[in-house]
Structure formats: C-alpha cells, structure tokens
Amino acid sequence: MRVIPAIDIIGGKCVRLSQGDYNTKKVYSESPLEVALEFEAHGIRYIHLVDLDGAKAKHIVNYKVLETIATKTNLKIDFGGGLKSDEDLKIAFESGAGQITGGSIAVNDPDTFLGWIETFGAERIILGADVKDERIAIAGWQQESDKKLIPFVKDYQKKGIRYIICTDINKDGMLKGPATELYKRLLEETKINRTVVTMSGVEDVKIPGICLIASGGIAGLEDLPALQEVGCEGAIIGKAIYENKISLKQLEHFILSV
C-alpha cells in the first residue's frame, strides 16, 4: 500500500482544514517545498498536492508551488483542486503533476472528464469521490450532489477509470480514524468476476476492480495496516503527520515493511 502525505495549499502556504471548512484553516508551514523535501528525506515517494485556492476559484491557481516541488524533488505528485478545463489540465501536467484528481468536474461535466481519460490514459486521471453521508460532495466540499458513492464509482469504473480517491468528509481532519468499513464495502462492490484455470480446474473468482486510495481521518499508525487489510491501494495522510500523531520515522519504517 502506498503512503501518500497530503500538502494542501492556500496562499502558497501549507495548511490543513477540518471537514473541508475554510474557516478552520491552520497554517503548518510557510514553505510547501521544505515540507516536501522532509517527506522525501524519510523515504516517501508520493504526495497528494491540493490547490485549495483553485478549488474555490474553480481554476488552477497554485501551479507554481507544484512546479517548484516537481523540479526540486523526485516525488511523484498527484495534483487536484480547481481543475475544470483542458487548459487547467495542460498547466498541471506541464508544471510536473504525474496524476491529477478530478472531483467536481466528474459530476458537473462528465464529457470533459471522460475526454481526459481518453486523452491522457486511466493511469494519469484519478476520480475524486468525496462523500458526506455517502453522497458525492463538490465545489470544494461546499455542495452536496444527488449522486450516491457506490453507483457513481461503478459507473465511472465501466467507463475506464481505475484510480479512486475517496474521502469521507465527516472524518477528514478529525483524527478519529478512517472510513474503513465504507472502503471495504466499496471495494467489494467494484470487484470483477473472472474465470480462471487452477490446478483443480476452472473456477469463477472475484478480483479487485479499482485502485482505491483512502483519505480522511487517519489518526495513528495502526490505521494503515487496517486500510491495507481491506485492500486499499494507497492512503493519504494529512493532519496526523502535521499534529505529530504519526512521525515521519514511523512512516519510513512502515514503507520499508510493505
């Protein structure tokens, strides 16, 4: 399972919110680059970089932060927040993003989102399925749509999406544990039936259908094996790192063990 620290950006600074509420903003560092370099020094290879200004403005804003981290580290960066147009996507990839996450656009403009999958490939486009009471939330989590999580994900799965980031907004930033049971159910519902030949004959089996990245609520190191056990491909960790609930040394050891 991949360990993916989050760096959320407002005004060029590294911040964290609770439950997506901008009024709860807490600044943890004036330099996102220094944070990224520290992650890299502890064996971390991936980060989830979120342009919170972009999410509000509905277009990419903090691409210079992305460019700086991409050019001064070897981290593989998933970038999200405010990506609404082909031009936004072009800027994100040219600035160094390895993958991008689309959330609101997947609800409001599915044709454009599906066009991104066709143009750039399913390996580079992540579906942001952020939920509140199991309904998809959009517009920087400020609005709740009428779409339910599992049918929404299954529909995009049929259209070629492979990577999903699912954040339970009620748990985000609360340090009370992730939505492990929700992820377990989502992974079970998206499994694919396959007929395989084994030593004992032909068998029908179910195999994983999506790469699910868990996000929100991680409170301690013990949450990571639990997410790994249910089948999550990755885990995004934010406030638990910044509030010293999980040390970078602990993450370094965990990465070496998986």
User: Which is the catalytic residue, given 51, 130, 168, 223?
Assistant: 130
86 included as an active-site residue: no
C-alpha–C-alpha distance, residues 81 and 73, integer Å: 21
Per DSSP, the three-state class of 204 is strand
Residues facing 207 on adjacent strands:
192
Per DSSP, the three-state class of 26 is strand
User: Which is the catalytic residue, given 8, 78, 172, 223?
Assistant: 8
Inter-helix orientation angle 180-189/149-158, to 10°: 40
% helix / strand / coil in the chain, to the nearest 5? 35, 35, 30
C-alpha–C-alpha distance, residues 252 and 44, integer Å: 7
Residues facing 198 on adjacent strands:
201
155 included as an active-site residue: no
Catalytic center residues: 8, 130
